[in-house]
Amino acid sequence: MTVPTIVDTGQGPPLVLVPGMQGRWEWMAPSVDALATRCRVVTYSLGRANTGGFDSFIDQLDAVLAEAGLDAAHLCGVSYGGLIALRYAARRSERVRSLTIVSTPSPSWKPDPRTTRYLRTPRLMAPAFVAGSPGRLWPEIRAVFDTRRERLVFAVEHTRRVTWAPFSPVRMAARVRLMGEIDFRVDCAGIEAPTMVVTGEPALDQVVPVSATLEFAEAIAGAETTVLDRTGHIGFATRPESFAAIVAGFVERHAG
């Protein structure tokens, strides 16, 4: 797997931010900027999985740390990135100072019929996926922003980020397939690093059920939980300062 150029910004305890299913760090840019006021943030875009399967992402993360000159770091994985961060922490415990899992699908996730249809023809299903996104995210946007103008400004800015850093339907489908091949509950049992599980509010996350993410807190010994209120699945974009306060606060507590 070829490692894309990393983003390395800010000063403080080193934090590697792993992006979600779409694989683009740019979608998290507001939180990268907010976190960089308190941490040294390293982030990147996910590469194409190769014959190494899901563990290609572990190899990529090894390369990211090497490129950043880091022997160890704090990890924060958002959505699908939480699974990558989890597995890395289980396989490379000596390199992980703390682990934050944010709005991540269940460790025992398996594809439902709708997902299975998408996996068969990802290019054909991509327009339907895109068309359905506003409906899934709108309750969260409405809860965060009080006025119509604020909601419009956010929608335009987020659309611009997504347009400038487009996702690949084929790569997304490949990532989903790899995810379904692993029982991440085994990795949960092997976590030694201090762990925090972050969710939005149950009524606002219409992408990953909050109850599914909370399974990590049950499966990882000593894990703590935190709710980023007035958010659903994209609190890293809708409330980046609050997101950063939670994540950076946890990192700083375990930075000694």
The tens digit of pLDDT for each residue in 18-59 reads 999 889 999 999 999 999 999 999 999 998 766 678 999 999
The tens digit of pLDDT for each residue in 174-210 reads 888 888 889 999 999 999 999 999 999 999 998 899 9
Average pLDDT, the chain: 89
Q: What residue ranges do the domains of the chain occupy?
A: 7-253
Contacts of residue 127, defined as CB under 8 A and 6 or more positions apart, other chains included, come to none
**pLDDT at res. 116:** 67
pLDDT at 118 over 60: yes
Model confidence band, residue 128 (pLDDT cutoffs 50, 70, 90): very low
CATH of the structural domain 7-253, one choice from 3.40.50.10860, 3.30.479.10, 3.30.70.1520, 3.40.50.1820: 3.40.50.1820
pLDDT at 163 over 60: yes
**pTM score over 0.85:** yes
